[in-house]
Amino acid sequence: MLSTLHAVVRPARGPAHGLVVLLHGVGSNERSLQALAHGLDPRLEVVLPRAPLAFGADAFGWFSVQFGAQGPVIEPAQAEASRLLLIDYVRALQAQHGVDAAHTLVAGFSQGGIMSASVALTAPQVARRFAILSGRILPEIAPYIPADIATRGVRGLILHGEQDSKLPFALATAAAARLQALGVEHALHGYPADHTLTAAMQADFNAWTTRALLSGH
C-alpha cells in the first residue's frame, strides 16, 4: 500500500514516538509543506504524500472542487476514494513504524486539512489526532462518523485565517461547532491572515502537535 502514493519523508531521529501525515492542498504537491514538517519534533516520523489526482504540471489534489457563489462544490466520489485510500495508507505506515492511533496525527492545509478531518472522524481506530489548517469538515462524511466518536479519544486542532478569501473563516467556526456537537475535543484559533500558513500558525501547530503526540515521552 505504501507504494500507492509517492511521498517525501522527514524521518524521526531514532525510533519514532509518533507519526505525522501531512496532506497538501489542491493544485499543490508533497513538497509544499516541507518547511512545516522540518519544524516538528525530531522524535516524530513525518510523511508527506502526494495526492492521487493530477490537475496539471506538478499540481495534485484529493478531489475536484469548483468555487461558486454558493461556496465550494466537490466531486464526492473522489473525496470518498481518497478518504479510503488514506485510511489504508496510514495503517500501512503505522505497521511499518510501530505507532498506534493515539500517537498518529493526520494534518493538512486547505484540502489536505479537509481530508485529515475525514480520516480521523470516520476512522478513530486509525488516527486519533487531526489538524485542519485553513480547511473545513465535509458534510458528506456524516454517515461514516461512528456514533460513539465522543468516547474514542479523538482530538482536533483548527487554525484559520480570519481574512481567508478562498475558504471563509465561517467554515472554521462551523467546523468547531460540528466537533462540539459530536463531543470531540478541539481547539480553534484565528489569525489576521488570508488563505495561507503564517509563522504564527506554524508555531502553534508545532506546539500543539508535540503536546498531542508526545505527552508522556
CATH number of the domain enclosing 100 = 3.40.50.1820
CB atoms < 10 A from the CB of 88, how many?
14
pLDDT in tens, 193-211: 999 999 999 999 999 999 9
Q: What pTM value is reported for the model? A: 0.96
Is a pLDDT exceeding 50 seen at residue 52?
A: yes
**Rounded distance, CA 175 to CA 141, Å?**
13
CA-angle at 81, arms to 131 and 52, nearest 5°: 80
Domain range enclosing 76: 2-214
pLDDT in tens, 60-118: 999 999 888 778 889 999 999 999 999 999 999 999 999 999 999 999 999 999 999 99
CB atoms < 10 A from the CB of 149, how many?
17
Q: For residue 166, what is its C-alpha cell?
A: 478562498
Q: For residue 26, what is its C-alpha cell?
A: 489542491
**Rounded distance, CA 167 to CA 16, Å?**
34
The number of distinct structural domains making up the chain is 1
**Rounded distance, CA 94 to CA 126, Å?**
9
Q: For residue 70, what is its C-alpha cell?
A: 454558493
pLDDT in tens, 143-156: 999 999 999 999 99
**Rounded distance, CA 144 to CA 54, Å?**
26
Residues in the chain: 217
Would you say 142 and 118 are in contact if contact means Cβ atoms under 8 Å apart? no
